[in-house]
Amino acid sequence: MALVTTNPTINEGPLFAEVDMGSDFNAPTVRATVVQASTIFYDTPATLDKAERLLAEAASYGSQLVVFPEAFVGGYPRGSAFGLSIGNRTAKGREEFRKYHSAAIDVPGPEVDRLAAMAGKYKVHLVMGVIERDGYTLYCTVLFFDSQGHYLGKHRKIMPTALERVIWGFGDGSTIPVFETPVGKIGAAICWENRMPLLRTAMYAKGVEIYCAPTADSRDVWQASMTHIALEGGCFVLSANQFCRRKDYPPPPEYVFAGTEEDLTPDSVVCAGGSVIISPSGAVLAGPNYDGEALISADLDLGEIARAKFDFDVVGHYSRPEVLSLIVKDHPTNPVTFTSTSTKIEDKTK
């Protein structure tokens, strides 16, 4: 596979040079890009403008699939405590949530329409991390779009981590999709969901080939999880994380990094990225990048999937369903269901 050279800066010249893809004529090659860039916090229109600039640049180099980080639209509220302690909430924390709720997007909604139009305009398959607003509950969500500008569907994070559980709702089994597209079967799990073996198994059973892992985890140990998933699932893993400095968030007192604010300068790195692309054999194709905002790209030889599955097919020849099995409850779990009976009224005049 050919590796596309990356560059850690976004605004200074080309991000990577074009290379000969060198593909096997018997298997398609897909050029994929993971975006490592920060949200413009509390400014969703500006964030969408930034997303379009990045998408256009990736498309100009031939990318067919572009994956953005967790919560890119709406923002990952790193360091914010929302005024919470056990048994107590503050007025300032409630106001922080109001502003965060205002920055989220409805699905469907005008921002989804714009993202779909962007995917169609630049002829790329788009995987975008957003904060979804459903009434007054928020969800950490991934949206999927095809290269014709169609919204395909979404995945809601089923298990937020730690304080995330206070500000985000829990997804259910109805949004664990794997979409069959011209560039492969695409699915996503968000951040520490990727450490949930049963969720991964459900995705493998749906045939995921390009496993997207938008995240907020920039630790070195994250790379071990990504490599393991690629080997376990016999799939390509595309992990996209934000690269953020303190100045990418509003200044104090509007926004405070609880417990660390006094140690931060405007240029302090608060999320170091680590975005990466890994092959089904466990080879690192691009990244991890810890240097700054970047477009990180690689050419995916889809023939590698069959080569890897020859060794290990976790839901195929390496499974033991008579010993181990999984039941996935993939129906929506609505808190309120209304049942109505309509009576057909015959038109007597006919």
- The band of 137, judged by pLDDT with boundaries at 50, 70 and 90, is very high
Q: Is 133 helix (H, G, I), strand (E, B) or coil?
A: strand
pLDDT tens digits along 312-341? 999 999 999 999 999 999 999 988 989 886
pLDDT tens digits along 189-221? 999 999 999 999 999 999 999 999 999 999 999
- pLDDT over 80 at 21, yes or no: no
Determine the pLDDT at residue 339. 87
Note the helical H segments in 125-178: 164-167
Told to judge if 70 belongs to the known catalytic residues of this protein, a careful annotator would answer: yes
* Assigned token pair, 150: 């169609």
Mean pLDDT, the chain, rounded, equals 90
pLDDT tens digits along 257-299? 998 999 999 999 999 999 999 999 999 999 999 999 999 999 9
- pLDDT over 90 at 26, yes or no: no
Task: Tell me the residue type at 91.
Answer: A
Domains in the chain, CATH or no CATH each? 29-311 (3.60.110.10)
Quickly count helices (H) and strands (E) in the chain. Answer: 7, 14
Determine the pLDDT at residue 7. 40
- pLDDT over 60 at 3, yes or no: no
- pLDDT over 80 at 345, yes or no: no
Task: Tell me the residue type at 267.
Answer: D
Determine the pLDDT at residue 6. 43
Helix (H) or strand (E) holding 58: helix 44-60
Nearest to 145 by CA among 171, 121, 176: 121
Residue 130 CA to residue 133 CA, distance in Å, equals 9
Nearest to 7 by CA among 259, 243, 317, 318: 243
- pLDDT over 70 at 130, yes or no: yes
pLDDT tens digits along 109-126? 999 999 999 999 999 999
Enter the pTM of the model: 0.88
**70, 111, 232, 293: the active-site residue:** 70
Q: Is 192 helix (H, G, I), strand (E, B) or coil?
A: helix
